[in-house]
Homo-oligomer: A and B are copies of this chain.
Amino acid sequence: MPDKAQAKPKSKAPKTPKPRAYHHGDLKAALVEAGARIVERDGVMALSLRRVAREAGVSQTAPYHHFTDKEALLAEIAATGFRDLSAEMEVRGSAIAGASPRLGALGTAYVLFATENPGRFRLMFGPLIGEKAAYPALLEASLSSYQMIRDAVAAYLEEIGPEEAGGDAENPEAATMAAWSLVHGLATLINDRGFNSEAMGAPDIETLTQQVTSYLRNGLGR
């Protein structure tokens, strides 16, 4: 690497404005990105720390200066998955007026994210990360996704009114659990298909999701 002689604008600031830029630039982010690429390309089981380091162009032990162990790197990749999931739900849901179709849009976004990013989805919920709550960034990102669904469920319960929603209007946790469970189970079963996904009469994933989630909406609203 010849020219890295690029000097930063020393015009000011004894403090570096960038967070960190030592030898590599930003190896931590590069490792997360390389890991996510491997997971999606070759599957969860093909991801090894040495492979990630190789893909990032550094030695095998370089990651240990940014992550305490392999699991910590996996947790960071999973956290980016939750952030992307939240972003996709935001994109698909924010433009839609009406709590019921908005809830359906969130479910569609959830299932679509899972089927378009199966590697990271398996990482986010699979057993490769033993204690997910041990990683604050992962916990926060997952709670953020949870709250997006919870807010949509609460808005839906409020829209249909208290006499329809029963006591759930004030405590939407159980209804949220049902909604998340439904889309999460559907996404998991689609991803681990091979069982018989085409056997049912649903042409594509989007309509299948709406078909399945409609059961819950009808149930929620009585």
Contact = CB atoms under 8 A, between A and B. Distances in A.
Interface of A: 43-45, 122, 125-128, 130-133, 139, 142-143, 146, 171, 173-178, 180-186, 188-189, 192, 194-196, 199-202, 208, 211-212, 214-220, 222
Contacts of A126: 122, 126-127
Contacts of A212: 174, 177-178, 181
A88 to B, nearest CB: 18
A67 to B, nearest CB: 17
B171 A130 contact: no
Given A142-B195, A174-B208, A181-B182, 9 more contacts: A43-B127, A146-B196, A177-B200, A177-B208, A178-B215, A181-B189, A182-B216, A214-B219, A219-B219
Contact of A219 (B199, B211, B215): B215
Contacts of A196: 143, 146
A179 B95 CA distance: 30
Contact of A201 (B132, B146, B173): B173
A189 to B, nearest CB: 6
Q: In the assembly, how many copies of this chain are there? A: 2
10 contacts: A43-B130, A171-B200, A177-B208, A178-B186, A181-B182, A181-B189, A182-B216, A185-B186, A217-B219, A218-B222
Given A171-B201, A216-B216, A219-B217, A185 B195 contact: no
A139 B196 CA distance: 10
B182 A182 contact: yes
B178 A188 contact: no
A86 to B, nearest CB: 14
Contacts of A208: 174, 177
A117 B95 CA distance: 42
Contacts of A142: 195
A186 B215 CA distance: 16
A130 B216 contact: no
